[in-house]
Amino acid sequence: MKISSLLLASGLLAAGLSSQTQLLRGKIEDVKNTQNRFVLDCTNIPLTSTVLNLNMLVGQQYIMQVVNTGSASSPSLDVRSVTATTKVFDMGNIRLERADRWQVRWKPNSTTAVGITATAATSYMPLRSMGTFLLGSQLALMARGRVNQLGVFEFSYQPPNITSLVGLSVTGQALVQEPNGFLLLSNPDCKQVRSN
């Protein structure tokens, strides 16, 4: 699966659609110690809405239709509609010298690839019906494989023992391809690197 080529080609096809709504999976979070400021969880991308009360939607997983009212390099997303959904990608902990389980949940026999980047390096690239790619150009491929008959692809990750990583926030996202060829980008998930 040539993820980078696929995303680049899809990104070029999606160029010029900024005034149309774009599909985005994720969770709405409020910005701590502020009033009525929101971000897409596990990113620094601001969320607003001219039609919805985002205070009522905080903390839930959604499939959102959004419009970028900012720019490509500095997005600000106006949430036009939401549909409640479940998490596709669940990032395990990141603890030095300990292995933790990460999961992608989707249709059996789908293939998937999981990437990560620093949360501060996340970006916004809408890719039509696939959803939105959030990991930017500095991503690292973590794992790839097939979703089993129970609807789960699970892998174990143990970070290197580099103490300077402690406290770093890391965001991950999965790309899933169903047996029929349909592609989708999961919700982002994130964890802080811990020493234990």
Q: Do residues 93 and 59 make contact, with C-beta atoms less than 8 angstroms apart?
A: no
CATH architecture of 17-84: Beta Barrel (2.40)
For residue 104, count CB atoms less than 10 angstroms from its CB and return exposed for 0-12, middle for 13-18, buried for 19 or more.
Answer: buried
Stated pTM of the model: 0.88
8 A C-beta contact, residue 112 and residue 174: yes
pLDDT tens for the 196 residues of the chain, in order: 445 444 444 444 444 444 589 999 999 999 988 888 999 999 999 999 999 999 999 999 999 999 999 998 999 999 999 999 999 999 999 999 899 999 999 999 999 999 999 999 999 999 999 999 999 999 999 999 999 999 999 999 999 899 999 999 999 999 999 999 999 999 999 999 999 8
Pick the CATH number of 89-194 from 3.40.50.970, 2.20.130.20, 1.10.3210.10, 2.40.50.100: 2.20.130.20
pLDDT for the residue numbered 17 = 42
Residue 40's pLDDT is what? Answer: 98
pLDDT at residue 19, rounded to an integer = 57
Give residue 11's pLDDT.
46
DSSP letter string over 28-72?
Answer: EEEPTTSSS-EEETTS--EEE-SSS-GGGGTT-EEEEEEEE-S-S
pLDDT at 39: 97
Domain boundaries, the chain: 17-84, 89-194
What count of Cα atoms within 13 Å lies in the side-chain half-sphere of residue 101? Answer: 6
Q: At residue 107, what is the residue type?
A: K
Q: What is the pLDDT of residues 50-91, one digit of tens each?
A: 999 999 999 999 999 999 999 989 999 999 999 999 999 999
In whole angstroms, how far apart are CA 117 and each of 147, 169, 175, 191?
A: 23, 9, 14, 11
CA-CA-CA-CA dihedral for 142, 155, 126, 80, to nearest 10? -140
